[in-house]
Amino acid sequence: MKTFTFFIFLLASFSLYSQTDFSARLIPGSNILSISIADDGLFPPFEGGDFWNAMKGNEQRKYVEAQGFSLECDALKNNQNEVFASCLINMPISLMQKIGDVWVYKLKGAKARMLNQFFVDSAYVAIQRNGVYLSSYNTRSEFYFGIKEGLIK
C-alpha cells in the first residue's frame, strides 16, 4: 500500500511541475524580441505543439521567415499522438506597436498574405494564459502576433 501511495504521489508531483518552458526577452544590443517555447513532452498542455500545428506541412521541422517575423519549430509526437515541440520566434520589436500592455505585430493586405501562406487557414494559437497569441486570417488578409509586456524580461 505504501508503494502504491508513493507511486500516486510521484505521478501527481510530475504533473504539478510539468509545464512549457517559456521565455521572452529583448536581445541585448539589438531591437530583436526573442521568444522561446519548449514543451516538456510528458504532460499537456503542449504550447509549442500548438504553434507547430498552426503551421502548414507535416515535417518534423517547420520554419517561417517573412516580413521580419521568423518562427522555427521542431516537433515530436508522443505515444498518444500529441505533438510537443520546441519553438523559437524572433522579430524586431520596432515592427510592433504597443496597445495598452500588449506589443502587437500586425500586417494587412499583400504583406499578410505572404506570411499567412505558411499557416493553416484561420490559425489561432494562444498560450501563457492568453499572454501570447498568433492569429492568421487568410480570408481577410490579416496577420497578428501579440505578447503581453509583462512576459518580456
User: Going residue by residue through the chain (153 aa), what tens digit of pLDDT does each one get?
Assistant: 555 444 444 444 444 445 789 999 999 999 999 999 999 888 888 999 999 999 999 899 999 999 999 999 999 998 888 999 999 999 999 999 999 999 999 999 999 999 999 999 899 999 999 999 999 998 889 999 999 999 999
Give the distance, in angstroms, between the CA of residue 11 and the centroid of all CA atoms in the same chain.
27
User: What's the whole-model pTM score?
Assistant: 0.85
**Is position 2 within any domain?**
no
Which H helix or E strand runs over 116? helix 110-116
Structural domain containing residue 84? 19-151
At residue 147, what is the residue type? Answer: I
**Is position 99 within any domain?**
yes
**Is position 4 within any domain?**
no
CA-based nearest residue to 14, from 40, 38, 47: 40
**Is position 3 within any domain?**
no
**Is position 94 within any domain?**
yes
**Contact residues for 77 (Cβ-Cβ < 8 A; gap 6+):** 83, 84
For residue 15, the SS3 value is: helix
**Is position 101 within any domain?**
yes
**Is position 89 within any domain?**
yes
**Is position 138 within any domain?**
yes
Q: How many domains does the chain have?
A: 1
